[in-house]
């Protein structure tokens, strides 16, 4: 299944190096490229040591940011008003790098943190992600961008692209990204400290309206930005309140693809497996890997979600994010 999942991941990649969120043939819009999904999809290829493919994806993302550099400059020079259309968008045409011109939850600060984090982490491992001064210029401007929007208390649409509020998962991604970028570009320590203070004030909640959320797993993996006590509280809350048979619900009362019960997201299972493996909890790791395999459809794909309490999944399959997390867990 590992070999098959790697093959499925490659099938989601366009010639540009960008990934579709799901199969490029789906009619739901998931044939497009999300910044966050690309970063999570690249984690799987990184786990297999395919750094040529990983670099192609990050170079493509940097090229997208260069194409829309005027928006970054606009926010830096004039942070107010914080209209959603002024923010760096979350999704793009995977062939042209153009923004998708639709109303969308485009205020997703964690995507900026995620890109800073991975570029910083890979660079410090000796992998030359930055090709030239133009790439470095973009990285530096993204730091200024996070300062301009005051990410530590900026209401955004979060990982699930929904209502604007302050999301802990977004703040944590930005803190992790800024820490990883230190030493590569200029990052004021105060900018990191403000994020840490906000994290500690809000955790283990995700937001004012959500006490527990699947997005909080990102603070453990890949970001490793929480204390042991915060980590344990997040895992306990997710295990007790969100874990289901075919996946993990995003949060209690989720209306997306709702059939009377919360939809069960398959990616939560390998995500938990990765964390358990890193913690040395091998019995729990095996448990979540078995559940992950059971959540695959008859094509060996991990779909986005199953309708609550059913064995019927939606049309967004395979979900690149989920398939990649399985590769990380299995590699």
The pLDDT value given to residue 104:
85
The pLDDT value given to residue 278:
98
Phi-psi domain of 80 (left: phi exceeds 0; alpha: psi -120 through 50; beta: other)? beta
The pLDDT value given to residue 317:
98
The model's pTM is 0.97
Q: Are strands 33-34 and 264-265 parallel, antiparallel or unpaired?
A: unpaired
Please say whether the beta carbons of 181 and 116 come within 8 A.
Answer: yes
Distance between CA atoms of 273 and 82, rounded to whole angstroms? 38
Distance between CA atoms of 138 and 161, rounded to whole angstroms? 24
Ranges in the chain, pLDDT < 70: none
The pLDDT value given to residue 223:
98
Please say whether the beta carbons of 266 and 250 come within 8 A.
Answer: no
The pLDDT value given to residue 250:
98
The pLDDT value given to residue 101:
84
Strands (E), 112-213: none
Angle between helices 168-181 and 133-149 (to 10 degrees): 140
The pLDDT value given to residue 12:
98
Please say whether the beta carbons of 158 and 108 come within 8 A.
Answer: yes
Q: Just give the CATH number of 2-330.
A: 1.50.10.10
Give the residue among 147, 167, 138 at the shortest CA–CA distance from 155.
167
DSSP at 304: S
DSSP at 324: H
């Amino acid at each position: 299944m590992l070999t098959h999942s790697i093959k499925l991941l490659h099938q989601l990649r366009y010639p540009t190096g960008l990934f579709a969120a799901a199969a490029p043939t789906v009619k739901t819009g998931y044939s497009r490229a999300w910044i966050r999904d690309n970063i999570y999809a690249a984690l799987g290829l990184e786990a297999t040591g395919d750094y040529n493919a990983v670099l192609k994806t990050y170079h493509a993302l940097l090229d997208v940011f260069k194409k829309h550099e005027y928006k970054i400059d606009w926010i830096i020079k004039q942070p107010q008003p914080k209209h959603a259309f002024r923010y760096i968008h979350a999704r793009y045409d995977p062939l042209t790098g153009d923004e998708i011109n639709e109303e969308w939850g485009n205020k997703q600060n964690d995507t900026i943190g995620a890109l800073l984090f991975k570029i910083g982490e890979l660079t410090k491992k000796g992998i030359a992600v930055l090709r030239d001064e133009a790439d470095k210029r973009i990285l530096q401007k993204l730091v200024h961008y996070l300062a301009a929007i005051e990410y530590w208390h900026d209401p955004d649409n979060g990982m699930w692209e929904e209502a604007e509020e302050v999301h802990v998962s977004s703040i944590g991604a930005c803190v992790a990204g800024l820490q990883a970028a230190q030493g590569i570009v200029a990052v004021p320590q105060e900018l990191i400290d403000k994020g840490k203070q906000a994290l500690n004030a809000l955790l283990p909640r995700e937001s004012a309206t959500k006490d527990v959320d699947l997005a909080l797993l990102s603070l453990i993996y890949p970001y490793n930005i929480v204390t042991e006590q915060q980590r344990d509280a997040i895992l306990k809350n997710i295990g007790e309140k969100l874990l289901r048979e075919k996946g993990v619900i995003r949060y209690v009362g989720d209306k997306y693809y709702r059939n009377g019960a919360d939809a069960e997201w398959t990616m939560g299972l390998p995500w938990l497996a990765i964390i358990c493996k890193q913690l040395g909890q091998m019995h729990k790791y095996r448990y979540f890997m078995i559940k992950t395999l059971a959540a695959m459809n008859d094509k060996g794909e991990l779909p986005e979600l199953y309708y609550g309490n059913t064995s019927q999944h939606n049309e967004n399959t395979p979900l690149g994010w989920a398939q990649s997390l399985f590769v990380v867990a299995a590699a």
